[in-house]
Amino acid sequence: MTTLYGFGSNGGGQLGLGHLEDSNTPQPCIGLPDDECIKKVVGGGNHSAVLTTSGRLFLAGSSQLGSRQQKQWEKNGGSTQYDWTVYNEPYPQHTWQDVACGWAFTILVNDSGNVFGIGSSAFGELGVVSKLDMTELCAIGPDCLVDISSVVCGWRHCLALTRTGTVYGWGWGKHGQLSGQRHQDSVIFSPFVLDVPEPMAQVACGHLHSLFLGARTNRVYGCGGNKNGQVGSRLGVANITTPTLCIDDGRTLAGDGDRSMAAWQLTTGWHHTALLSDEGRLVMWGKNDHGQLQDGLQHVTKVVCGSEHGLAQLDTGKVVAWGWNEHGNCTTDDDKVLAPVAVLPPALHTDNITLIGAGCATSWIGLSTK
């Protein structure tokens, strides 16, 4: 069983704490069952999603409803069918296997490998030609998005990965984040297969860029906005429109392909990227104006990037945080956390931490209560 704690920005009640105030101390989240194990927590603009190992989905925060609905929710003082300052289970009729949050939308994958969405559709995020927010679940690409194993979201674009390593994309692609595909309005409404160099084991989305981890070679490829080098070291190129091998200081970031992929983790913030090798070494590149990059951090077992900060669990069980901290998402009073700091208050113990999560200036840790 998992007890979830949230801290950081609490706009729209996205931390699930029962109120709208930010917190720089981990606080217990409300509305989650005490008899479930949590396997994933992710955050969007002002909302978050929790997925349990049994396939139950819980949502908190107002921006999942879409930008217009969020404004209406706030205007009405939060009075809707649900109280979004705590976690709710709005779709119990499904069994879910993955979830991802964009700025004002949520993408879901059920146990049959079908994809659904809710929230903003202004930039093709939900695979439909509509400027209206979707307040009910809608199927995305039902004719092509089948056998999907995972989904990720950027600010306004989405990637879906099949069990065989094929990558689909849709949404806003102006900066090449959808592998160079462009619409006259830079919006791709219909999911399509991205032209990537090999089958992929993992995919990740930043604000305006996309990353791909090769299943055969362990190599990391990237495309999209590169103003801060978040796609690679080609700092003179603002947008990279074709998936390109990521290089940092002359090194191939994902090694030579001789090791197992099981322990590798690829994660992105808005303008930075992180790769955790199977040896527990963290490699990071991109924007570093708030201490987002902790390149070379050792003995890491888990890592997640928030918008401009990061969390990592070390092999000692301790969780550390770094980066932009204006809302307390790194648990200190400093606006910038330039070196990793421990995030747990003394009352909580590190030996039973099973989960870490991050979003837009938001952070979560999950503790086993067995």
Q: What is the pLDDT of residues 49-101, one digit of tens each?
A: 999 999 999 999 986 665 555 555 556 655 556 688 999 999 999 999 999 99
71 vs 144 pLDDT, higher one:
144
Q: How far apart are CA 32 and CA 298, in angstroms?
A: 33
Sheet hosting strand 96-101, strand order edge to edge:
96-101, 105-110, 115-119, 134-140
Residue 79 pLDDT: 53
The pLDDT tens digits for 186-213 are 889 899 999 999 999 999 999 999 999 9
Collect all residues with Cβ–Cβ distance below 8 Å to 53 and sequence separation of at least 6. 36, 37, 38, 39
Domains of the chain and CATH, by start: 2-368 (2.130.10.30)
Is the model's pLDDT at 307 over the cut of 90?
A: yes
Tokens 């969780």: give the residue.
319
Tokens 């930010």: give the residue.
22
- Residues in the chain, overall count: 370
pLDDT band of 247, cuts 50, 70, 90: low
